[in-house]
Amino acid sequence: MVVEPSLALNLGNSRNSDFPVVAKGMTQAEKQLQRAGLLSRLFWGPFSRLGLWTALIVFALDQSHKWWMLLIYKIEAKGRLALTPFLDVVYVLNKGISYSMLKGDTANWQYALAAFAVVASLALAIWLARAVDNSLIATSVGLIIGGALGNALDRVTLGGVADFFSLHAFGYYWYVFNIADVAIVAGVIGLLYDSLRDMRTESPKKGAAPNNADGQHRPGPTTPA
């Protein structure tokens, strides 16, 4: 996950008008209100509501599905179940990250991966509040945060990430995934799409052709009022 570089600059600039400095001579209550305002501006922006609600919905759906599969459906005892010719449901406890990379069996390793996910989600939440300026990015960031926190909770409670969905075709099996993984991938695709969209809108401006034979841009004729 890449955090906007300007975020770190804004956070480190104590003279930024968005982060007022606590003045001398203020009462204790005024100082507390000032600090509360600073924190609210740090973690809350115009698109924070959309992004965080998206994260909450993803987190709730992911955790509800996982515990339903484990406690009510009891997928672990039933084994692999074919839903379609290309999709099976099976229980796999992933103790690594994607494709089971960085796999570790110790509880401390799972806690470390969970802590990393929480820190990354916090950084994304700050970026959401400070730099996000449209609903597509806000929704995409929310999808990533919700998915990351859902998998992080698995690592603490289960000792790994609970995965259930297995795609396969022509004898090739894709890695087993869950709802949180789907949300994270969708969020990344949304961020990439937004970046490509910005590149397409900027390129015509940079490559505009001159409107005169001498290669110079001149304003067109004006219409009299």
Beta strands in the chain (DSSP E): 81-84, 87-94, 161-169, 172-173
Per-residue confidence of the chain (225 residues) as pLDDT tens digits?
Answer: 433 444 333 433 433 445 455 555 667 665 565 565 566 677 788 999 999 999 999 999 999 999 999 999 999 999 999 999 999 999 999 988 765 566 677 899 999 999 999 999 999 999 999 999 999 999 999 999 999 999 999 999 999 999 999 999 988 988 899 999 999 999 999 999 999 987 877 666 555 555 555 555 555 554 454
Strands (E), 5-142: 81-84, 87-94
Strand order in the sheet with 81-84: 81-84, 87-94, 161-169, 172-173
Q: How far apart are CA 140 and CA 188, in angstroms?
A: 7
CA distance 20 to 172: 57
Contact indicator for 162, 175 with CB cutoff of 8 Å:
no
**Residues with catalytic roles:** 163, 181
